[in-house]
Amino acid sequence: MSKPLLDPGWLSQLERMQILSRRLASGTQAGKRRSRQTGSSLEFADYRVYAPGDDLRQLDWNAYARSGKLFVKKFLDEQELHVTLYIDCSKSMGYGEPTKLERAVQLAAALGYISLCHLDYVSVYAFDREIVASLRNLQGKNKAAQLFQFLSSLSVGGAGDLEQAMRSPGAIHGKPGVSLVLSDFLFESGYEEGIAYLQATRQDVALVQLLSREERDPAYQGELRLIDSETTQGKEISVTHGLMDQYRKAVRDYQEELAQFAYKRGIAVLDVETERPLEEVVFRVFRQAGMIR
């Protein structure tokens, strides 16, 4: 991608946001991730932009005098969160305008930047039927350029298999945290076992399903030959209004099945139309879904 992944004007807004983990949020003050261990270090670690609800005693007034902006001191006793982003790079993610992969990469950039600004650890795994690229254990706002460069390098690959990818060597870093999977979840082998396996590794899982408007409501008609983008198998069909009605219902049913599967396992799931403005998805939809605050 030649243009920046994110509008530079958004970065200050993203710095005031925070990835939410139900596991860590339980019993802690809003906006904080304090370690429950005693004797933790009070050594100064870094600054972050002030957000409503932060402890005013930790404001750095010298920094305010120099910059006119409010910064909060962050100490090593604030517990870091491990945030892992899994990006589906299978061939079907190359569909749409913008493509599903382009939108997934932009969303990953926003979520990763939010986490880096809070000194959380960020890892990214790109997959199709296996892990095809990874960037692990970034920490600190100064790693944002490295994250963006890695994300910009991703491209679509072959057929996808979520379960096989999750069981690839090194696909799970082993530490509890938040794992977000960005995908269309159109896997011929299904998604259930792959997600269940990820959740079993002590991850607070969230799913972001990306589908284009044309996939939800195609404007096809007449005699067509449709070719599967991943298997390359073709099928001759006669497109009628009745067939399109059945197709739209099948899409809705599939999305409902994913939502029900996630609900039963206590997993957050978010449906994103790729044509929807990126700013709206990040600053409104993600907030309403409880993925960020």
248 and 171 in one domain? yes
200 and 146 in one domain? yes
Share of the chain above pLDDT 90, in %: 54
Tokens representing 110? Answer: 């926003």
- Residue 281 burial (10 A CB sphere; 0-12, 13-18, 19+): buried
Q: What is the CATH number of the domain that holds 116?
A: 3.40.50.410
Cα distance between residue 23 and residue 177, in whole Å? 8
Cα distance between residue 93 and residue 135, in whole Å? 20
Asked if residue 178 lies in contact with residue 115, where contact means CB atoms within 8 angstroms, the answer is: no
Q: Which helix (H) or strand (E) holds 204?
A: strand 203-211
Does 197 reside within a domain?
A: yes
Does 20 reside within a domain?
A: no
Q: What is the pLDDT of residues 219-269, one digit of tens each?
A: 877 776 777 766 777 777 787 888 889 989 999 999 999 999 999 999 999
Does 25 reside within a domain?
A: no
Q: What is the pLDDT of residues 85-123, one digit of tens each?
A: 999 999 999 999 999 999 999 999 999 999 999 889 999
67 and 156 in one domain? no
Domain end (from 78, 111, 133): 78
Instruction: Quote the number of domains for the chain.
Output: 2
93 and 48 in one domain? no
Q: Where are the alpha helices (DSSP H) in the chain?
A: 11-15, 22-25, 61-67, 100-117, 144-152, 162-166, 192-199, 213-216, 241-264, 278-280, 286-288
Return the number of other C-beta atoms located less than 10 Å from residue 91's C-beta.
18
DSSP type of residue 200: T
pLDDT of residue 152: 96
184 and 277 in one domain? yes
- Between vectors from CA 66 to CA 63 and to CA 72, what angle results, nearest 5°? 15
Asked if residue 183 lies in contact with residue 210, where contact means CB atoms within 8 angstroms, the answer is: yes
207 and 102 in one domain? yes
45 and 158 in one domain? no
Does 6 reside within a domain?
A: no
Distances 35 to 30, 43, 76, 176, 277 between C-alpha atoms, Å? 14, 14, 9, 14, 37
pLDDT of residue 133: 96
155 and 68 in one domain? no
Give the amino acid at 202: R
Share of the chain above pLDDT 70, in %: 82
The overall average pLDDT reported for the chain is: 83
Does 14 reside within a domain?
A: no
Q: What is the pLDDT of residues 167-207, one digit of tens each?
A: 998 898 778 899 999 999 999 999 999 999 999 988 999 99
Q: Which domain holds residue 194?
A: 80-288
171 and 111 in one domain? yes
Cα distance between residue 77 and residue 35, in whole Å? 6
Q: Are strands 222-227 and 234-239 parallel, antiparallel or unpaired?
A: antiparallel
Count of CA atoms in the C-beta half-sphere (13 A) of 83: 29
88 and 74 in one domain? no
Least confident of 63-72, 90-99, 166-175, 275-284: 63-72
